[in-house]
Amino acid sequence: MKLTNKILTGLFLVIVSVSVVSCSNTPKGDEASVGDAEQVDSATGKELAVDIASSKIGFTGNGVGKNHPGYFKLSSGSLMVMDGKVTGGSFVIDTKSLVLDQKDEMFQTKLLGHLLSADFLDAEKYPTSKFEITSVEPYTATAKDSSVIEGANVRVSGNFTLKDATKNVSFPAKIDITENGFSAIANFNIDRTAWGLNYGNDKSLKDKFISEVVNITFDIKSK
């Protein structure tokens, strides 16, 4: 019994230490507010199509002391604009387009396939994800509420659907609208488990070696 207790104690300490290391390597991003899905109202104004060739949704997950950055391409998307303000919009993410920045064979052959498998994204069953804007409000940084995005000017809220779960996410962003189109950037952190994105089971030992926090970046431009 004593030996068993020692083993369990040691295992617990390993899990705690790994969790601390993993979290400490999470990229700096705004802390997004996550809640239940909200109603999407009909938007009015001019529709500006997204340039899917130059737009992408970035992410960084992290495990045992290492970050794993990558990005997804968009299948389609648009913003609705009226009087220089965003009134709505949505973006469809091509889950199967996942690209890892780390080009070593281990990442390209093992990690990439693992992320696309049913253990995480289950891309065969869920080939797309979606972000649909529910509101866009003016944002001004303060001493207590400042964004990592320099010049952030709006707070965007939207329903983010990943696999079969939809949550409303709110975060600061910088959206510039000109006569020729728009550009939008954001950088925020979310808890992947809010969408049921776990490695097998949220109580499994394997899942403890991966930080629950995932950094998300938007870099979206119009045609």
What's the whole-model pTM score?
A: 0.83
Give the phi and the psi of residue 206 in degrees, each rounded to 5: -60, -40
User: Which residue do the tokens 């220089």 mark?
Assistant: 84
User: Using the 8-state DSSP alphabet, how is residue 107 labeled?
Assistant: I
| Domains of the chain (ranges, CATH numbers) | 2-221 (2.40.128.110)
Residue in 211, 207, 214 with CA at minimum distance from that of residue 190? 214
Task: Looking at 51-118, list the stretches that DSSP marks H as alpha helix, in order from N- to C-terminal side.
Answer: 105-106, 112-116
pLDDT by 10-residue block (mean), the chain, 223 residues? 49 39 67 97 95 96 78 97 96 96 80 86 96 97 93 98 97 95 97 83 50 94 91
* 3-class secondary-structure state, position 144: coil
Using one digit for the tens of pLDDT, what is the confidence trace for 85-117? Answer: 999 999 999 999 999 988 877 777 888 888 898
Instruction: Give the C-alpha separation, 88 to 81, whole Å.
Output: 7
Question: Between the CA atoms of 120, 34, 60 and 166, what dihedral angle is there, to the nearest 10 degrees?
Answer: 40
**Is the CB of residue 48 less than 8 Å from the CB of residue 81?**
yes
